[in-house]
Amino acid sequence: MYKTEIELTGHLIDTQLLSRVIDEITDLGGEFEVLDTTIGKTRDDVSWARLEVRASSCDKLDRIVKAAVALGAVTVDAEEVKLGEVKKDGVCPEGFYSSTNLETFVNVGGTWVEVENIEMDCAVVVDPVAKRARCCPIGSVRAGEMVILGSGGVRVASAPASDEDSGEFSFMGSDVSSERQKFLVLRELAEEMKRIRARGGKILVVAGPAVIHTGAAKHLSKLIDAGYVNVFFAGNAVAVHDVEAAFFGTSLGVNLNDGTAAPAGHMHHLMAINRIRDHGGLRQAVEAGALTSGVMYSLIKNDVPYVLAGSIRDDGPLPDVITDTVKAQEAMRSHLPGVELAVMIATMLHSIATGNLLPARVRTICVDINPATVTKLADRGSHQAIGIVSDVEWFLKELASLLVGEAVGQVAGA
Amino acid sequence: MYKTEIELTGHLIDTQLLSRVIDEITDLGGEFEVLDTTIGKTRDDVSWARLEVRASSCDKLDRIVKAAVALGAVTVDAEEVKLGEVKKDGVCPEGFYSSTNLETFVNVGGTWVEVENIEMDCAVVVDPVAKRARCCPIGSVRAGEMVILGSGGVRVASAPASDEDSGEFSFMGSDVSSERQKFLVLRELAEEMKRIRARGGKILVVAGPAVIHTGAAKHLSKLIDAGYVNVFFAGNAVAVHDVEAAFFGTSLGVNLNDGTAAPAGHMHHLMAINRIRDHGGLRQAVEAGALTSGVMYSLIKNDVPYVLAGSIRDDGPLPDVITDTVKAQEAMRSHLPGVELAVMIATMLHSIATGNLLPARVRTICVDINPATVTKLADRGSHQAIGIVSDVEWFLKELASLLVGEAVGQVAGA
Amino acid sequence: MYKTEIELTGHLIDTQLLSRVIDEITDLGGEFEVLDTTIGKTRDDVSWARLEVRASSCDKLDRIVKAAVALGAVTVDAEEVKLGEVKKDGVCPEGFYSSTNLETFVNVGGTWVEVENIEMDCAVVVDPVAKRARCCPIGSVRAGEMVILGSGGVRVASAPASDEDSGEFSFMGSDVSSERQKFLVLRELAEEMKRIRARGGKILVVAGPAVIHTGAAKHLSKLIDAGYVNVFFAGNAVAVHDVEAAFFGTSLGVNLNDGTAAPAGHMHHLMAINRIRDHGGLRQAVEAGALTSGVMYSLIKNDVPYVLAGSIRDDGPLPDVITDTVKAQEAMRSHLPGVELAVMIATMLHSIATGNLLPARVRTICVDINPATVTKLADRGSHQAIGIVSDVEWFLKELASLLVGEAVGQVAGA
Amino acid sequence: MYKTEIELTGHLIDTQLLSRVIDEITDLGGEFEVLDTTIGKTRDDVSWARLEVRASSCDKLDRIVKAAVALGAVTVDAEEVKLGEVKKDGVCPEGFYSSTNLETFVNVGGTWVEVENIEMDCAVVVDPVAKRARCCPIGSVRAGEMVILGSGGVRVASAPASDEDSGEFSFMGSDVSSERQKFLVLRELAEEMKRIRARGGKILVVAGPAVIHTGAAKHLSKLIDAGYVNVFFAGNAVAVHDVEAAFFGTSLGVNLNDGTAAPAGHMHHLMAINRIRDHGGLRQAVEAGALTSGVMYSLIKNDVPYVLAGSIRDDGPLPDVITDTVKAQEAMRSHLPGVELAVMIATMLHSIATGNLLPARVRTICVDINPATVTKLADRGSHQAIGIVSDVEWFLKELASLLVGEAVGQVAGA
């Protein structure tokens, strides 16, 4: 929903100016609210009114405002964006505008153009000739580029743009209560995943190591094999424990088939890292026939792109891990175009990092047994995130069961 | 495991006293640790040693200590319990002994007798003639009764007594981590429940309202129907929302079949209470054919005894609720004999209250999505509680699936 | 804020009907929003509009609606309440209206009268002759009384009524974030407490046992002595551990002056209960000179009324505890008139129970180190609750320091 | 405490072998436990016993074992470490030993040498000629180096080595309960910090952004100025919001002096980053007179070394941030020698990362309002961590008050 304010002054009632403006707004599919009025005491006094006008697209809003202006209304945000030149690589001019993750239009030379690659906390680089605008992390601006200064001439959608099927994926608000029927939410999610796969959209999965520790990797592998995971973000630990499970049947030294501690099992993860380092990387280990199961194996076998981003907690790390955090962000960004749904499972660091990069329009499901993870994600600006406070193990098991169909039986019979 | 300390003094090494005592202890199946020694500097000096002796039963320990005493050892806790007379109903003499929930023996006139109805934080009433001892809440002692003073002559097991099948129900310690494979724990629990049902033991279920809100009531009903719930403790809210679901298809006003809010649904729970009050109680509503589904219906239909204990949060309450908390405790106590397993689901108040009443030997599983509930239970003295940090909905669904077999399919197809 | 809807039909624009109605609404201090319109295609077609009208009091709204009706508007909620007779004590007629905790007016014979003793989840008993209405728990209605059926003729404020000083006590929304400067919130709270004390208002404190375990009792006692606590609600445990501290210097057996475990300290709380039972109650123990410090002592000495409500977790309990939960609710209710601020500290059970009884207009501060307590309180309908995720010990210490002034120095020097 | 096992075989009782060995162990200051015995049925049968022997240092244990061996005992872990050669940089030979964070001795050519730079999850590189051993992350081993294989010949302390003042810093176990008197813990911590400063030891502080958001930066600055912070680890966010506070008086856009949201305040942190980038770094900004307050300013002014480690959540980042996570780990490692106390405040990522690098003997205090952070730290192997579940704001305020003495007054009067 886009909005702006207009003002009316004059003999509003006698001249029917207010009535006619209201008529026009509603005729053109807009909504309005009278924010403030000063009504003249006598017939001859001048009245004044301020209205908020809302429309579902920036375009529609433009048409309404123009019609109102034609009737005598005055618009408030007609100004164009102000631009400032970048003088030094990686440094913006003071007063630069920083973006939100909501659809944004900017007034460049009288035309409202959409900001490309929308992402929160970026500068907006404008090409005034081509009339294009795009988000750019402040560390990546280059000398000579023009970035927006101040917030004049910027129109930000007040919520993710609705599209045709929005009604189908409604959930119970952005609630993170744990006292709800998660099965209902899960069913909606599964339906949405089916629709996205059917239309060739991309689903991003972001995962933390609990996926492996809880033994849920086999369910995730099923989803990968069935084409429900199109991009995968994680850290070193997920891959390490996944490989540990493939090599030793343990995760953090605990046997996944019976929950007992393996003798000297605490060394397994280092042995797993070491072995993959010896191969030169995960793909090489798969190609050498050494790594034959697990989430990473499924991703590689199905040619699903993945980004393993480094953190200072990492052991090893695996050769596949991008240890430079700025480069890791870039790698993550490069896989986002086309993503329609992000499913974040049991990881606060990677969920927040991914949330920072995602446009608000990308539906985001955050599954964690700790409600604080979901709350933090929303606090950090990813308001579109829907939280499911739940067991990772059972969430993935049920999801695989709904989408692939055999998971339940297999586990129950395991 | 029971333990006591003995002391040896003399020419320990020359006389082989220490060796012979150690020999005796191990011969009789005991264990020992040398806690402290003073070894004489010369052959002629007297040495001294203090040993902790341990045995798996109070009886065995007695035999060992007697054998050691025969060899010259001195025992430390041979004294008899001291008794004091209750002068006023509900008031114990100063210095009275207060119990733990572990198996306890007390030395009454030279005989070690087991304390009956063991429960933490009670006085121990002794009948010196009959040589019997039993736990009694301090508010329930009666003038003229004799209670134990001090802790002399009291032997407390250091951990729940082991029995034959203990190895089969081992879990992963008393861990409350959420990063584990819960399915493995669940499978062990299901096996244990089968064994208890098979041998005619009693299983107690203690539940909070989340069981109803999450839509898990149908799984719990299956377990009741299949004979896996033999006693049931809850509060007013569980029964209220269960009845609300039976009457209106909602829990707290939320439709259980699609998660949407029912119009004026926030009034449903009061309407449900009112209707049951009109019938005079839950059983009457079942008999009248008005209440035909839900957890309470299943309990009544299967003649499973239940205690609904009042709390100051209650609306209504239902006529079945015992509003006096002391009487509610008494009602709960009366159902505990024979209980071998307590499964506590999503309720802190009722879990702790039940934990207060249970002997430590009763296996206790506490399922909650909030780790704090489990931690609090253990902090309050119920160290035997094993925590499962998990979704109530999925916990009960899987458990019903493992024990009754159809739950998964039904829900997946729902 | 009260609201209702009105509809306009006719030649809205030609006749200036819409303009004149808008003029009237704003002239009378109301606000409005056009919810829906059907504008006739030609000059001769009839147009239609639906407006939501809002005003800060039920009275003002009435005047506005009457003025609009005089101009030709049609009002939607003009109907009177429907009443049904109670046939059986403690049972309402089907379809009875259940209350919220917001200021509510009901249309009795054409007059809007305020519902007295407003409390959530109650029936509303109406005296049609005296034109009075009051909340009544459903278990307390008596045969022959008339209660409201359905929601026709009921107007509920959309938020707590504002008063003059509302601006002064603004806080940072109903946020429960722990990453904020609590000192700022605390300062506002202290100012509000000073204002309430100055004007003779009542402050209610609801406390859990952590107040005692953390050693914060001395700070609370200071606030009591200084007149900042005018009513006190708690459970058995608070009083027990408070008395334990007074008698033995321990809380749950831990020495409060150095944090070490006292020998046999786990028996202290039972000994404390027993001793008070021997005296016949807390007041008697104070009068006998046996209890000379602690929170309960301060309350008794300063004649501050308190309610100790029983729960099934209780040991003992103390003779002062009201063990019947329905009677405990009644006792709590009887102390609420005049309460302007409720400070709830570290107790989920008593906070929710009190929240159930409080009108929404009573400012409520909920202090707990666990964010879930605050969230649950709001979920259960006490939306006015402002959460402070914080240490109880330091919260009370700072508050005492701000209000009484010496706390900090004393403790630092302790 | 170090331990090993010895075995005795023969006519244990007749020959007094067992007695004499026990005599020797206790004479030399050791402790023992008889783990298992087979006592011959007749005088002529051979008996057998297995004892665990414990001593407070590896040296003492050695002396005891040698004495026991002289009497006829057989020792179990006399073997030397096995070594394997590194064939490829960053890859260890299969079966390599991975370290714990506890003091460790390894038997190199018959001599027990201590492993230097002890750190968990590392390989141990041995120089057999110089008889030295050191921990080395597996990614840092170089071809040609020798690393330990298997766990033979390795003796690991069972708990951090005690030193002279251990009794003075006892706390209440490694408890994370929030229902305790934190002031007592805090007082002990303050005393320990005074002792460490007095003897020239190093104190490491690891901090998360809540330190800034809660307004606690001023208290931390006081501690830095007074010499109580000797090394500082954090991430980009801490420095960013600290600089934001210095430049704009806000943290995440919220005014620190009154808790209100600053207009367009959400842009402040990016503006702060941009300005520091323009200066070229934090130190340059201080030198230019642009940055004149805050935690980073205090560190730079007092020449306290700091490491800002990058993460994929970072905006900017500041030029001072080490974006490569492996290099950041190396930088952190380089500052650890000499650290005697680590105080970790409100950060899970940096706490765990630092915990991974610290020897177990370094006392570690972890302060967080979320008990899960402390639990995770201990789960990840940093068992020495003592948790304080507390407000960061009040923790630092009280600590500064105890150590510097003016904090309380200043804030109370602010």
Give the DSSP per-residue string, C253-322. TEETTT-PBPTTGGGHHHHHHHHHHHHTSHHHHHHTT---SSHHHHHHHTT--EEEE--TT-SS--TTSB
B324 touches chain C (CB under 8 A): yes
Among D94, D269, D313, the residue with its CB nearest the CB of A353 is D313
Give the whole-angstrom CA distance, residue C102 versus residue C88.
28
C/D interface, count of CB pairs below 8 Å: 90
Q: Are the Cβ atoms of A401 and B391 closer than 8 angstroms?
A: no
Residues in chain C within 8 Å Cβ distance of D213: 179-181
**Mean pLDDT (whole number) for B243-255:** 93
Contact between C243 and C272 under an 8 Å Cβ cutoff? The reply is yes
pLDDT at residue B73, rounded to an integer: 87
Do C315 and C400 reside in the same domain of the chain? Answer: yes
Instruction: Provide the CB-side half-sphere exposure for B46 (13 A, CA).
Output: 4
Residues of chain D in contact with residue C186, where contact means CB-CB under 8 angstroms, are none
Of D181, D183, D411, the CB nearest to C183: D411
The H or E element that residue A111 is part of is strand A111-116
Residues of C in contact with B309 (CB under 8 A): 312
My answer on whether D102 and D59 are in the same domain is no
Do A26 and C34 make contact, defined as CB atoms within 8 angstroms?
A: yes
What is the value of pTM for the model shown?
0.86
**pLDDT at residue C414, as a whole number:** 34
Rounded average pLDDT over C57-74 = 88
pLDDT by residue (tens digit) across D372-399?
A: 787 777 777 777 788 888 889 889 999 9
| Residues in CB range of C122: below 8 A, 6 or more apart | C98, C99, C135, C136, C137, C138
Put simply, the answer to whether D26 touches B33 (Cβ < 8 Å) is no
Asked if D250 reaches chain C (Cβ–Cβ under 8 Å), the answer is: no
Indicate whether C218 and C259 sit together in one domain.
Answer: yes
| A117 closest CA partner among A130, A135, A98, A97 | A135
Residue numbers in C near D184 (CB within 8 A) = 215, 258-259
Q: Which of D184, D215, D412 sits opposite C258 (nearest CB)?
A: D184
The pLDDT tens digits for B376-397 are 777 777 777 888 888 888 899 9
Both A53 and A139 in a single domain? no
Which chain A residues touch D328 with a CB distance below 8 Å? 312
Q: Please name the chains neighbouring A, where neighbouring means 3+ C-beta pairs under 8 angstroms.
A: B, C, D
Per-residue pLDDT at D52: 87
Digit-coded pLDDT (tens) for D84-112: 999 999 999 999 999 999 999 999 998 89
pLDDT grade for A338, boundaries at 50, 70 and 90: very high
For residue C359, cis peptide bond before it (omega within 30 degrees of 0): no
Most confident of the ranges C369-378, D152-161, D255-264: D255-264
Chain B contact present for D370, CB below 8 A: no
How near does any CA of chain C get to the CA of B104, in Å? 16
Arithmetic mean of pLDDT over chain A: 87
Task: Give which of D129, D307, D168 is closest to D231, Cα–Cα.
Answer: D307
pLDDT of res. A410: 38
- Cβ contact, residue pair C139, B277, below 8 Å: yes
Residue partners of C320: CB distance under 8 A and separation at least 6: C239, C281, C282, C283, C308
Q: How confident is the model at residue C14 (pLDDT cuts 50, 70, 90)?
A: low
Q: Which pLDDT belongs to residue A1?
A: 80
Distance CA D409, CA D400 (A): 11
Do D383 and D260 share a structural domain? yes
* Residue D294 amino acid letter: G
With a cut of 70, say whether residue B70 has pLDDT above it. Answer: yes
Which among A331, A250, A320 has a CA at the least distance from the CA of A285? A320
For an interface test with D, give the residue of B22, B36, B370, B374 to mutate (most D CBs within 10 A). B22
- For residue B137, the distance in angstroms to the closest alpha carbon of chain D comes to 26
Q: Which of C19, C36, C46, C51 would best serve as a mutation to test chain A binding (most A beta carbons within 10 A)?
A: C19
A220 shares contact with chain D (CB less than 8 Å): no
Note the Cα A181 to chain centre separation in Å: 25
Single residue among A156, A184, A209 that ends a domain in this structure: A156
Q: Are A47 and A57 in contact (CB under 8 A)?
A: no
Q: ipTM score of the complex?
A: 0.87
Mean pLDDT of C61-83: 86
Tokens representing residue B201 in the block: 């033991």
Q: Please report the pLDDT score of residue A382 as a whole number.
A: 73
pLDDT for A289 equals: 97
Mean confidence (pLDDT) of chain C: 87
Tell me whether residues B183 and A210 touch, CB distance under 8 A: no
In the predicted model, is pLDDT for residue B21 greater than 50? yes
CB contact under 8 A, C349 and B137: no
* Contact by Cβ (8 Å): A3, A158: yes
Strand runs labelled E in D199-239: 202-207, 231-235
Nearest CA in chain B to D378: B177
Is any Cβ of chain D less than 8 angstroms from the Cβ of A326? yes
A375 HSE (CA, 13 A, CB side): 15
pLDDT over 70, % of chain B: 88
Is the Cβ of C22 closer than 8 Å to some Cβ of chain A?
yes
Q: How far is D214 from chain C (nearest CA, A)?
A: 4
Query: What is B62-87 written as a DSSP string?
Result: HHHHHHHHHHT-EES--PPPEEEE--
Q: Other C-beta atoms within 10 Å of C13: how many?
A: 19
Say how many C-beta atoms besides its own lie within 10 A of residue B374's C-beta.
Answer: 25
B216, B346 in Cβ contact below 8 A? no
Q: What is the pLDDT of residue C174?
A: 40
Question: Phi and psi (nearest 5°) for A389?
Answer: -85, 110
Residues of A in contact with D309 (CB under 8 A): 312
**CA D216 to centroid of chain Cα atoms:** 24
Is the domain of A323 the same as that of A372?
Answer: yes
Quickly tell me which residue has 């239909």 as its tokens. B301
Q: For B168-193, what is the mean pLDDT?
A: 67
Amino acid symbol at D54? R
Per-residue pLDDT tens over the stretch D56-79: 888 889 889 889 888 888 877 668
C352 in contact with chain B, both atoms CB, cutoff 8 A: yes
Could you report the per-residue pLDDT of D326-358, keeping only the tens digit for each? 999 999 999 999 999 999 999 999 999 999 999
pLDDT tens by residue, C312-332: 999 999 999 999 999 999 999
Q: What is the residue whose two structure tokens read 């007059």?
A: C111
Do residues A411 and A230 make contact, with C-beta atoms less than 8 angstroms apart? no
**B59 touches B114 (CB < 8 A):** no
C103 and C222 inside one domain = no
Helix (H, G, I), strand (E, B) or coil at B398: helix
Residue that terminates a domain, selected from B98, B122, B156: B156
Per residue in C205-240, pLDDT (tens digit) is 999 999 999 899 999 999 999 999 999 999 999 999
Nearest to B13 among D19, D32, D177 (CB): D19
Interface residue A402 vs chain B (CB under 8 A): yes
Region D215-235: mean pLDDT is 97
Predicted pLDDT of residue D152: 87
- Which chain B residues contact residue C269 at CB under 8 A? 121
Is there a single domain that holds both residue D261 and residue D313?
A: yes
CA distance D112 to chain C (A): 39
Higher pLDDT, A39 or A372: A372
pLDDT in tens, D181-206: 778 888 889 999 999 999 999 999 99
pLDDT at C337 over 70: yes
Q: Which pLDDT band, with edges at 50, 70 and 90, does A139 fall under?
A: very high
A280 pLDDT higher than 50: yes
pLDDT greater than 80 at residue A249: yes
* Residue D413 distance to chain A (closest CA, Å): 31
| Helix or strand holding residue A8 (H, E) | strand A2-10
Report the CATH number at residue C356. 3.40.50.10690
Q: Which of residues 40-99 of A touch D (CB under 8 A)?
A: 88, 90-92, 94-98
Closest C-alpha among D130, D74, D81 to residue D108: D81
Under an 8 A CB cutoff, do D20 and B13 touch? Answer: yes
Contact D282, D300 (CB under 8 A): yes
Q: What's the CATH number where B118 sits?
A: 2.40.420.10
Q: Is the pLDDT of residue A238 over 90?
A: yes
Q: Is the confidence at residue B14, as pLDDT, over 70?
A: no
Whether C34 has a pLDDT exceeding 60, the answer reads yes
Average pLDDT on C79-93 reads 95
Q: How many domains in chain B?
A: 3
Name all chains with 3 or more CB-CB pairs below 8 Å to chain C: A, B, D
Orientation angle between helical segments D392-403 and D217-225, nearest 10 degrees: 30
Q: What is the pLDDT of residues C304-317, one digit of tens each?
A: 999 999 999 999 99
Q: Does C178 touch chain A (CB under 8 A)?
A: no
C139 shares its domain with C228: no
Residue of D nearest to B20 (CA): D13
The boundaries of the domain holding residue B315 are: 164-413
Nearest CA-CA partner of C303 in C286, C289, C317, C322: C286
Q: Looking at residue D39, what is its pLDDT?
A: 63
pLDDT tens figures, A28-67:
888 888 777 776 655 566 778 888 888 888 888 888 988 9
* Residue A72: per-residue pLDDT: 85
Strands C254-255 and A339-345: unpaired
If asked whether residues C14 and C101 sit together in one domain, one would say no
Q: How many CB atoms lie within 10 A of CB C259?
A: 19
Pair (C12, C63) in one structural domain? yes
Residue C154: is its pLDDT beyond 50?
yes
Candidates A103, A104, A102, A105; CA nearest to A113 is A105
Asked if B297 and B192 sit in the same domain, the reply is yes
CA C10-C15-C21 angle, to 5 degrees, is: 80
Give the number of C-alpha atoms closer than 13 A to the C-alpha of residue D382, restricted to the C-beta side: 27
Q: Among D258, A376, D265, which residue's Cα sits nearest to residue C171?
A: D258
Structure token digits, residue B25: 């202890």
Locate the chain C residue with the closest alpha carbon to B277. C91
Boundary-marking domain end, from D75, D100, D115: D75
| Sign, CA torsion A128/A131/A134/A140 | negative
Contact D412 C402 (CB under 8 A): yes
Q: Are C242 and C294 in contact (CB under 8 A)?
A: yes
Q: B50-54, C286-290, C394-398: which has the minimum mean pLDDT?
A: B50-54
Residue A67 belongs to domain with CATH number: 3.30.70.2690
| B313-370 pLDDT tens trace | 999 999 999 999 999 999 999 999 999 999 999 999 999 999 999 999 999 999 988 8
Q: What is the CA radius of gyration of chain A?
A: 26
pLDDT digits (tens, 9 = 90+) for A294-325: 999 999 999 999 999 999 999 999 999 999 99
